[in-house]
Amino acid sequence: MSILKLQGRTRAQESSGAIERMYITMRHLFNRGFYKPMGVSGDTLRESLLTLRPEIYGSIANDKAELEGLLYVIDRLPHGIEECRFINLTSDEGYGNSHFKPIVPPKRRRNCYRIDEEQMNIEITRGRSEIYDILTHLTFLFVESHKIMKRVLIDEDGSVNRDWEKLEFAVKHQGDLTQAQREVALTHTASILGRTFHEISNLYPKFSTPNNPDRFLRIIWSLGNMAIREGVKNEKRIITFSPVLRERLGHHIHGEIWANDIKSCLKENNLMDRPLHIISANMHSVMNTLYTPYALKAELKKKKALDIYEELSDSGNGSLRNKVNKAALDKGMFFIEDRSGTNIDVQIFDTAKLEEGFNNTKFSDLKPEEKPVIIVMDYAFGEQAYETMDELLKPYSLKDEELKMNVKSISIMGKAGILEGGKGDIMIPDAHLFEGTADNYPFENQLKKSDLEGHDINVVDGAMITVLGTSLQNKDILRFFHDSTWNVCGLEMEGAHYQKAIQAASRLRRSISEDVEVRYAYYASDNPLETGSTLASGGLGTSGVKPTYLITEKILDQIFNS
């Protein structure tokens, strides 16, 4: 038993070391300005990723292709990146005013631009975490491309096998493929990838787009083609970091513009001196919870509130959503669309315009100037959480005057990986541990486990790890955190960064009250310890609606009753 424990611990230590090496390497490559991912400069990054073998990348270390991981990565990278030899990471450098059409990945809000046939530019406006995210995904993509190359090359001169020739014929075929042609191509693709025809057929439509139903074939061919060019012609793929990006990173340029837009709106509407409550959440749950009773009175007589929330979460219910949005704009909501490049939209709710308050609170007893103002900011990404919260909590400089914000509470609600439970469960943390460092942030969470129990949802509490990237975890390291005295219940990417900014503002800079209340609650999007329950297995669907709105209601209850 002790030998097994030692082996498990050694694997966890090995994984922890691999993560540390990856981040040191990525920072070094960024400072250097460029590197070749499949060349000598990319060796450490590739080897560390293969040592770590993250759950989200499945069988990356095996000879056969990893399809679920490929789908996860492709959804987070710009369309066509697999065809590009040169990938340039830039700051916001004015491409939005050019003829280049922005390409926005389906699962990551970032602007990318196809400069020509060989080059893709990716705008980085969300800090280092975004760079780590992209480099890790690209490393996975290039490793997979070389697996394809090794299975189709016959000799060093570049001769390829019959499977590759048939796939190439299908990809270069003019017009749409017939069902028979498609199935022939999939048969040869299955052979190339070391997967069954059944596996390939099931995953094939998930890659399709309305304009490109056979996109999967194109992706596989493009990946293999680029790897063959590298292996045979020595045409290495190159990742570069623009000089402007290297100069600007860490200077909070985007965060400062973003925060000043919020403070300007508060000042213009005489809300700066009111009790302010900041919530980091999505752009619908707070608005829907506050305004559904006003906007959808008739619907609420026929259906339960939760059923209405499920309907509102469906993007197909535009008319229902518009009713709530219109009621919100009529009754005290201000919407600040992001113009800073942070990709974080903001809603400000003046609750003095809600005549009936919320959930029968003693709202009428309060004077208008005592009624809370709620600032809802969309999700930040990793280290960007520090930049945005740090800038938001600073005093507002107006001419010769510095105006401090009257911040009463800060609530963070988000999705996280759970280590003890399943999708849709709730986690209530009492500390954030920053992965790869000795930093830890204990805090007094105003939300308690008991506040959310009794609603047919499993609730767990304990510490949470703030990870450097969701795609860099494996079962061994997570099991170590879960089973050790750290008592970790889940993992996410922003908590330690938010708390670092909150503690700096309240206890060191004194720009907000030291008595500011904090609330953290997360609902589980995945369980990385369970095979088939990682983020690569798909989203939450409607199972995320109930925990989202339960947490939202509890946060609002505390705000209105504080």
Residues of the chain with pLDDT under 70: 1-9, 357, 360-364, 531-543
- Answer with the one of 229, 246, 263 that is the final residue of a domain: 246
User: Domain limits at 194?
Assistant: 11-246
For the chain, how far is it from start to end, CA to CA, in angstroms?
A: 52
Give the per-residue pLDDT at 370. Answer: 87
Any domain includes 471 = no
Cα(201)–Cα(148) distance, integer angstroms = 18
Q: Measured in whole angstroms, how far is the alpha carbon of residue 496 from the centre of its chain?
A: 16
Say yes or no: 404 and 552 in one domain: yes
Cα(240)–Cα(335) distance, integer angstroms = 36
Say yes or no: 222 and 272 in one domain: no
Say yes or no: 242 and 278 in one domain: no
138-176 confidence digits (pLDDT tens): 999 999 999 999 999 998 888 999 999 999 999 999 888
Token pair recorded at residue 352: 């003095």
Cα(311)–Cα(561) distance, integer angstroms = 29
Confirm if 236 and 38 have CB atoms less than 8 A apart. Answer: yes
Give me the DSSP letters along 335-361. EE---SSS---EEEEEGGG-TT-STT-
**Does an H or E element contain 35, and which?**
strand 34-35
**Does an H or E element contain 401, and which?**
strand 401-403
206-230 confidence digits (pLDDT tens): 999 988 899 999 999 999 999 999 9
Any domain includes 81 = yes
Domains in the chain: how many in total? 2
Say yes or no: 216 and 258 in one domain: no
Residue with tokens 């600073």, as numbered in its chain? 394
Q: Measured in whole angstroms, how far is the alpha carbon of residue 516 from the centre of its chain?
A: 27
Say yes or no: 333 and 193 in one domain: no
Cα(236)–Cα(231) distance, integer angstroms = 8
Say yes or no: 236 and 258 in one domain: no
Say yes or no: 54 and 188 in one domain: yes
Say yes or no: 159 and 303 in one domain: no
Any domain includes 468 = no
Any domain includes 1 = no
Give the per-residue pLDDT at 318. Answer: 84
Say yes or no: 235 and 261 in one domain: no
Any domain includes 509 = yes
**What is the four-CA torsion angle of 306, 308, 309, 310, rounded to 10 degrees?**
90
Give the per-residue pLDDT at 109. Answer: 86
The secondary structure of 211-250, three-state, reads CECCHHHHHHHHHHHHHHHHHHHCCCCEEEECHHHHHHCC
pTM of this prediction? 0.86
Say yes or no: 306 and 177 in one domain: no
Say yes or no: 228 and 353 in one domain: no
Task: List Cβ<8 Å contacts ≥24 apart for 97-105.
Answer: 103/78, 103/79, 104/78, 105/75, 105/76, 105/77, 105/78, 105/79
